[in-house]
Copies of this chain bind each other. A is one copy, B any other.
Amino acid sequence: MKITCAKDQLNHAVQTVQKAVTAKAALPILSGIYISAQNNKLELQATDYEIGISCAIDAQIDIPGQIVLSCRYFQELVKKLPGETVEIASSAEDRTIKITAGTSQFNLLSLPAGEFPVLKPLFDKSAQENSLVIKDNLLRDLIKRTVFACATEESRPIFTGALLESTESDVRMVATNTHRLALKKSILETTNTNYNPLKIVIPSKVLNELARLLSSELPVDVNICWEKNRVAFRFENVYLESRIIEGQYPDYNRVIPPQFGTVAAINTALFMDAVERVSLMAKDGEYNVIKFQFNHDQVIITSNNPDVGKAYETVPVTTTGTEITIAFNAKYVTDILKNIGTPELHFSLNTPLSPASIKPVNDENYTYIITPVRTS
């Protein structure tokens, strides 16, 4: 192999795919980045079998070929190389790869390219009945507003991922750890009738990496394609695939109360600041619990940690319906306040022991359900 390419593009490609390299790779070959040169393209790949990413850039290919370089050293080096172009050439004598830029010359040991589990892109299959197109900013928004609600402990794997679901008119993402649930819908511009409905659960770790890569300045199309065990996303010069978490995702619609006896309209920023201060006195307490007393014109927020002290805050609200006192895990409240994205919210409740809802005002496409905590 012998190629020349732009340093900035190579650096971008390395930074893109290196998110699929785990620090503690099970097999040595998975600690590497696979680099393939042919047809004026340099394609970089990395995978840990859960997530696989490839990124292709333009390059002058003098001799085509495939190599694998240690991700750790290659990415540090490419970041620091001088000048604007980089030359990469494999040596005929030994298994080193010569990397030249300006007056810098490096010979990196390579890993055996034949051992690398090269990605087999789903899009190359002729049958694409399982596919969907969505704008990258909409997909990023679906992820960012829900994925924080996933479970972090592995005891029930299905909840460590988020459900991605499509109907004829919208795409939805749902995440829950069984104590709280986030649901975000994105209405499709045109009704899609020519594909199969999508219903898969994707690991939260993969979704976080995907959201980070969906950062184009102008909206671009993301092609989504799936089969039984894996799902793939293609956008710009990036291909990302993920395993699908097996199992039955519960019917989230049953968790969402059809109506509420109390609805409080609250300023998001004031509420957020007050809840964060009150939670300071709850952090070490059992379950991080804080209490909310919804009166007609204010909500009184309190906490009491015998080892630290007490907090008492009031925030103006406009409450319709019954006054109610209820307790929540403070973190489950602040998590949604950080992601709600509107200056006003509706906090809707029924009884001190039934699920409540926090929603942006005037946005039916974002729902957050939170289970209260029983207090003495």
Residues of chain B lying within 8 A (CB to CB) of residue A277: 77, 80-81, 104, 106
Residues of chain B lying within 8 A (CB to CB) of residue A80: 273, 276-277, 280
Q: 7 shortest A-B CB distances, which residue pairs?
A: A108-B309, A105-B312, A107-B310, A107-B309, A103-B314, A80-B277, A109-B309
A70 lies within 8 A of chain B by Cβ: yes
Residues of chain B lying within 8 A (CB to CB) of residue A77: 277, 280
Residues A313 and B105 in contact in the complex (CB < 8 Å), given A273-B82, A308-B73? yes
A76 lies within 8 A of chain B by Cβ: yes
Interface residue ranges, A against B (CB under 8 Å): 70, 73, 76-77, 80-82, 96, 103-109, 273-274, 276-277, 280-281, 307-315
The answer for the CA separation of A19 and B281 in the assembled complex, in Å, is: 22
Residues of chain B lying within 8 A (CB to CB) of residue A105: 311-313
Distance to closest chain B CB from A5 (angstroms): 18
Q: Assuming A96-B309, A107-B311, what are 20 further A-B pairs, CB within 8 angstroms? A: A70-B308, A73-B280, A73-B281, A77-B277, A80-B277, A80-B280, A82-B273, A96-B310, A103-B313, A103-B314, A104-B274, A104-B312, A104-B313, A105-B313, A106-B277, A106-B311, A107-B309, A107-B310, A108-B309, A109-B308
Distance to closest chain B CB from A253 (angstroms): 38
Report the copy number of this chain in the oligomer.
2
A310 pairs with B273, CB closer than 8 A = no
* Chain B CB within 10 Å, residue with most, of A70, A273, A311: A311
A280 pairs with B76, CB closer than 8 A = yes
* Chain B CB within 10 Å, residue with most, of A76, A77, A103: A103
Residue contacts A-B, CB under 8 angstroms, 25 given: A73-B280, A73-B281, A73-B309, A76-B280, A77-B280, A80-B273, A80-B276, A80-B280, A82-B273, A96-B309, A103-B313, A103-B314, A104-B277, A104-B311, A104-B312, A105-B311, A105-B313, A106-B277, A106-B281, A107-B309, A107-B310, A107-B311, A108-B308, A108-B309, A109-B307
Distance to closest chain B CB from A49 (angstroms): 25
The answer for the CA separation of A109 and B306 in the assembled complex, in Å, is: 8
Distance to closest chain B CB from A99 (angstroms): 9
The answer for the CA separation of A274 and B104 in the assembled complex, in Å, is: 8
Distance to closest chain B CB from A313 (angstroms): 5
The answer for the CA separation of A307 and B310 in the assembled complex, in Å, is: 58
The answer for the CA separation of A312 and B102 in the assembled complex, in Å, is: 11
Distance to closest chain B CB from A80 (angstroms): 5
Residues of chain B lying within 8 A (CB to CB) of residue A309: 73, 96, 106-109
Distance to closest chain B CB from A256 (angstroms): 33
The answer for the CA separation of A104 and B309 in the assembled complex, in Å, is: 14
The answer for the CA separation of A267 and B307 in the assembled complex, in Å, is: 58
Distance to closest chain B CB from A306 (angstroms): 8
* Chain B CB within 10 Å, residue with most, of A70, A307, A309, A315: A309
The answer for the CA separation of A247 and B139 in the assembled complex, in Å, is: 64
The answer for the CA separation of A309 and B69 in the assembled complex, in Å, is: 11
Residues of chain B lying within 8 A (CB to CB) of residue A70: 308
